[in-house]
Amino acid sequence: MLQERFSHASGFEVLETNALTYTLPEEETPWVVVGNLPYHISSRILFHLLAQRQRWVRAVFMFQKEVAQRVAATEPSSVHWSGLSAQVSRVCHVRWVGEVSPGCFHPPPKVDSAVVALSPRAEVDGIEDSQFAQMVRIVFAERRKTLRNNLKKGGVGSLERIDGVLSELGIDPRLRGERLTVNQLRSLTKALILN
């Protein structure tokens, strides 16, 4: 249908490929990426594109509303703040565009949708995405446990070392992991994973 509708457009090309493995070509003008992502793999596609963020300047995606709320949350004070929020917020500015009702689709889905826009931040923290993701997984692993216990269980050092790092960074060890800001997560990553 796309090929038929846009065949007259100059430079238009339909690529039938796997969004989870496709790499954006390097172009002189950075890409703008737009998509209504398949809801069951939307986070995986998002992370695949975040890994290529040096090749695009803006991305506008439609997600299931609950996922969009987590993507758009930028502070621990939000009820939607999550590990996904922290990882996206670390590398992108995120803007909530708006909700899309089921009636906008044919056939209408049984879930609400929402659109968010992302633009990459300048990267200066010296942390690999995989290192930050590792810290986020540890910190958010068991939400009812304290930060100190999650770090201990995460195997990033002895309790003595963990207590020393938390004290040095001025982070209360009794906090729940989901109360940490992106900057605090960065600091913990540098102190406990990079060192």
- Percent of the chain clearing pLDDT 90 (strictly above): 80
Task: Quick: pLDDT tens for 50-86.
Answer: 999 999 999 999 999 999 999 999 999 999 999 999 9
CB atoms within 10 A of CB 101: 10
Yes or no: say if 114 and 98 are a contact pair by the CB < 8 Å rule: yes
Specify the pLDDT at position 14.
85
What are residue 110's phi and psi, to 5 degrees?
A: -95, 10
Task: Quick: pLDDT tens for 108-138.
Answer: 888 999 999 999 998 778 999 999 999 999 9
pLDDT-based confidence at residue 105 (cuts at 50, 70, 90): confident
From first CA to last CA, the distance across the chain in angstroms is 53
CA 13 to chain centre: 29
- Percent of the chain clearing pLDDT 70 (strictly above): 100
Domain ranges of the chain: 2-120, 129-194
Tokens of 114: 């929402």
129-194: CATH topology is Helicase, Ruva Protein; domain 3 (1.10.8)
Give this prediction's pTM: 0.90
Residues 2-120: name the CATH superfamily.
Vaccinia Virus protein VP39 (3.40.50.150)
